[in-house]
Amino acid sequence: MVEWIAEQNPVVQALLGTLFTWGLTALGAAVVFMTKTMNQRLMDGMLGFAGGVMIAASYWSLLAPAIEMAEQDPLPAWLPATVGFLLGGAFLSGVDKLLPHLHPNASMMEAEGIHPQRRKRSTLLVLAITLHNIPEGLAIGVAFGAVASGFPSASITGAIALSIGIGIQNFPEGAAVSLPLRRDGLSRRKSFFYGQLSGMVEPIAAVGGVLAVLVMEPLLPFALSFAAGAMVFVVAEEVIPGSQENGHKDLASLCLMLGFTIMMILDVALG
């Protein structure tokens, strides 16, 4: 399977990766057809595991290749990675202030400070989750684009593992949209539609990331680092707190370490 994906055009690879993450978003949103609540312990463990995968992928699939690419430039190798990484985090921090803050496991909770009118609340709920999916799609696109550019430290295995990790954490995100919408009075069908809709931006962002990398190759170290910074910000701001706020701290932490370890093994052994 990995070999077949490696033979595809990088745009196709990015599309396949983000169609997978979008599919898991839709699968999470489909929970609304089966129940009004989710097993919180399972969701917290999944979020912790996804956070570990995303942290490991941010280094091995994004930052490490960025540093290696920058070694070919006259600038210090750490400079593009530092600038891109901090800009990625600052960008997400700035955007977070423009929309209501929402934890990805929102269980099922509501976004903070949302207007009491159902329509406005529903709109902001979808926008908040959708916002966090943009850098994730970008990260996948940039990772596959780096592989296509021929940099040895960028591996197809790492890009695939990154897609898997993002997909895992998209499952509870889909449910985090559909379940509160259902609770607000929307039909199950409409709640599912808006839940899966929040993942639709990832394929778009991924294709944009691939094309940007292939067209503007000198900016690739900055793009990779930017995606890594955005990913780490999402994990630190949303995924980790969301996985631990329901009292399952030990489980979430152990799952995070497990996810990190598996991603490390995949990237180092198979990369």
pLDDT at 100 over 60: no
Residue-wise pLDDT for 192-210, tens only, equals 998 898 788 889 888 888 8
Helices (H), 30-155: 40-57, 64-70, 78-96, 118-148
Which residue has better confidence, 160 or 115?
160
Between CA 14 and CA 145 the distance in angstroms is: 8
- In the chain the beta strands, taken as DSSP E runs, fall at none
pLDDT at 137 over 90: no
Between CA 76 and CA 239 the distance in angstroms is: 32
pLDDT at 227 over 50: yes
3-state DSSP call for residue 115? Answer: coil
pLDDT at 13 over 60: yes
- Calculate the average pLDDT of the chain: 77
pLDDT at site 87: 92
Percent of the chain with pLDDT over 90: 10
For residue 159, what pLDDT band results from cuts at 50, 70 and 90?
Answer: confident
Cα dihedral 73→79→84→87 (10° resolution)? -150
Average pLDDT value for residue range 80-108: 71
For residue 113, what pLDDT band results from cuts at 50, 70 and 90?
Answer: very low
DSSP state of 111: P
Between CA 21 and CA 135 the distance in angstroms is: 13
Average pLDDT value for residue range 140-160: 79
pLDDT at 235 over 50: yes
Percent of the chain with pLDDT over 70: 79
3-state DSSP call for residue 161? Answer: helix
Residue-wise pLDDT for 14-73, tens only, equals 889 999 999 999 998 898 888 666 677 877 887 788 788 778 878 887 788 788 878 877
> Domain coordinates of the chain in residue numbers?
9-270
